[in-house]
Structures are given as C-alpha cells and as structure tokens.
Amino acid sequence: MSGSPSVLLAEPDPAVSDPVTALLRRRGYAVEHVRTAAEAETRLRDLLPDLLIAELLLPGGSGARVAELAKARSDGHLPVVMLSVLSRPVHRDYALAVGADVYLSKPFRASALLAAAWRLCPITRPVACFAGAGI
C-alpha cells in the first residue's frame, strides 16, 4: 500500500459507492469496495482498514453487525461511518450504540462525508477543499 489511509466501503448501491469511492480516492484514501455484509465481514477478518464506511442495510446482513465486528477486531479503535436511508433518531441511536462514530442519512453531502473521514482518519498530506453536491 502507498501509505494512504485505507477505507473499506460496504455499500450495495453503485449510485452511492461509485461517487464515494472516486471522491475518497481523489482526496488520497485507498478505498476497497464491497457490496454485501458477508464480503465486509470476510475482509475485516483478513485485514483491518483505517476506516470503515458501511450502509446500515447490507444484502445478506447488517452494517451494524459489520460495525460491531470492526470494533471487536480493533479493540474499539477502528472508526466507523454508518450510512443509511433510514433517518429517524432511533436508527441513528442504534447505529451509534453498535459502534458507529458518525451516522449520515442518505442523501448526504459529499462535504459531510469528507469531514467525517478527515476527522476520524486524517490524511497527512494537504488536499484540495471540496464543497460538492449531495450523494
């Protein structure tokens, strides 16, 4: 790896995963994308990333379970951003209770995701500011 912070993105919808992947890569993150809970869990068992971004509702399982596994494997240190179309406070509270550090309801602004990624997993080299549209 090039020394860039690694991100595991668990997101089934290409309309979200493609722009998020491109955005994070342009900002200097090394992104690996998976689409299902099983793929995310397998990847977390193989090697821990520096940041996990996961959809709460993943095919074949739950992003919450993936977040719990990430926290357990990292002794609570792996930062997690949870994404979801579910926007009620109960969903946010649940995600935070199982280990998410940040909860973003879809659609979210690219700048909000970048701010969360930067806060939880900063990049040491400077990058250009981005105020783009929502994702």
Asked whether residue 110 is domain-assigned, the answer is yes
Asked whether residue 133 is domain-assigned, the answer is no
What pLDDT score was predicted for residue 50? 97
Asked whether residue 125 is domain-assigned, the answer is no
| Tens-digit pLDDT string for the chain (135 aa) | 457 999 999 999 999 999 999 999 999 999 999 999 999 999 999 999 999 999 999 999 999 999 999 999 999 999 999 999 999 999 999 999 999 999 999 999 999 999 999 999 998 765 544 444 555
Asked whether residue 135 is domain-assigned, the answer is no
Strand partners, 48: none
CATH code, domain carrying 114: 3.40.50.2300
Asked whether residue 131 is domain-assigned, the answer is no
Asked whether residue 19 is domain-assigned, the answer is yes
Here the tokens at position 24 are: 């994070």
What pLDDT score was predicted for residue 135? 59
What pLDDT score was predicted for residue 120? 96
Residue-range definition of the domain harbouring residue 19: 6-120
Asked whether residue 130 is domain-assigned, the answer is no
Identify the helix (H) or strand (E) that includes residue 67. Answer: helix 63-73
Residue 28 burial (CB < 10 Å; 0-12/13-18/19+)? Answer: middle
- Residue-wise DSSP of 6-64: EEEEE---HHHHHHHHHHHHHTT-EEEEE-SHHHHHHHHHH---SEEEEESEETTEEHH
Asked whether residue 15 is domain-assigned, the answer is yes
In whole angstroms, give the CA distance from residue 52 to residue 71: 10
Q: How many structural domains compose the chain?
A: 1
